[in-house]
Amino acid sequence: MLLRAGERPVTELAQELGMTQPGASKHLRVLREVGLVRDRRAGKQRLYGLDARGLRPVHEWTGGFERFWDESFDRLDAYVQDLKQERQEE
């Protein structure tokens, strides 16, 4: 979530997360290795940002659940509307 607005240095991320800088670096390294974040050097800092390419499979996977819930809520809405209609007709 912290990287949605753009690149941030590891020190800033660690502070926001209430972690030590080495702890945050370890987590970011894992995320980089699986392709969810990218990093680059900017002077003495290392900046981290989201890597949308790594997020695509996650987005596609969760999209199936989004469709499932949208369809479920649509069916629930239709059922509630039918109940309202039946009560008005009584």
Reported as a pLDDT band with limits 50, 70 and 90, residue 89 is: confident
Per-residue pLDDT reduced to its tens digit, 31-68: 999 888 999 999 989 999 998 887 788 888 888 888 88
Q: Model's pTM, two decimal places? A: 0.61
d(CA 39, CA 42): 10
Residues of the chain with pLDDT > 90, as a percent, come to 61
With bands split at pLDDT 50, 70 and 90, how would you rate the model's confidence at 23?
very high
Spatial distance between the Cα atoms of 37 and 61, rounded to a whole number of angstroms: 18
The pLDDT assigned to 31 comes to 93
Percentage of residues in the chain with pLDDT exceeding 70? 100
Average pLDDT, the chain: 90
